[in-house]
Amino acid sequence: NFINCEEQRVNLNWIKGKMSSSSLLALVLLFFCINFCASEIGTNQPSYSLRFFSKITQDSSEIGPNDAVIIVDHGSSFNGSNISLIKFVDMFRNKTGYKIVEPAHMEMAKPTIGDAFQSCVQQGARRVIIAPFFLATGKHINKDIPSLSAEAAKKHPGVSYIITPPLGLHVLLVDIVNERINSCLKPIAQDAPDCSVCDGTGKCQKNV
């Protein structure tokens, strides 16, 4: 059974002042969801929350040595999208205190949630935090991911797991979208090279 935790309000002005990269903003938002809005499964302990961080660092005291994170997206037949998740996982691992971080795709590609769960356990995880890399709630969040997670956990008795909410509506997303807009307008206005998102894909709208 899920143990619901109350949504907590925090002051993110410090973070907004320090973070300019959209990638780092996404990391902060996902880290926020994992630590503040988690519901823990398979244990009678209440969900823990980080006592709000003054900086994103690798010495976060609330992170257990046997905790692991699975960042799960939808999965795609386009391999470039799947590779993007792997890159994001590397970024997340480098910016947080989690030593065990694995990517997973809900469908259409490997590794699956089951594959990632097994990999976490093999690396010594006793609790797995499953973080959906989705914007909003829906069937995948409410049904598919919980079902696949429960199926994976059955194979590893004694290992608890947490499913965090999706990214959802958050002020940091405004900064991310705005930065994406500016990253497109600048090359168009100044005939600059493609931005890092479009570079090498031929998709940049300035070429249309």
205, part of any domain: no
Q: What is the DSSP letter of 44?
A: S
Residue with tokens 């590893």: 156
189, part of any domain: no
Instruction: Judge whether 106 and 148 are in contact, CB under 8 Å.
Output: yes
93, part of any domain: yes
Measured CA to CA, the distance from residue 67 to residue 73 in angstroms comes to: 20
Mean pLDDT of the 176-185 span? 86
111, part of any domain: yes
Instruction: Say how many domains are in the chain.
Output: 1
Instruction: Judge whether 72 and 31 are in contact, CB under 8 Å.
Output: no
122, part of any domain: yes
We report the CATH number of the domain holding residue 67 as 3.40.50.1400
126-175 pLDDT, tens per residue? 999 999 999 988 899 999 999 999 999 999 999 999 999 999 988 899 99
116, part of any domain: yes
pLDDT-based confidence at residue 58 (cuts at 50, 70, 90): very low
Tell me which residue range forms the domain holding 24: 13-169
- In this predicted structure, what is the pLDDT of residue 77? 86
Instruction: Judge whether 76 and 108 are in contact, CB under 8 Å.
Output: yes
69-104 pLDDT, tens per residue? 999 999 888 887 889 999 999 999 999 978 999 999
Measured CA to CA, the distance from residue 152 to residue 150 in angstroms comes to: 5
127, part of any domain: yes
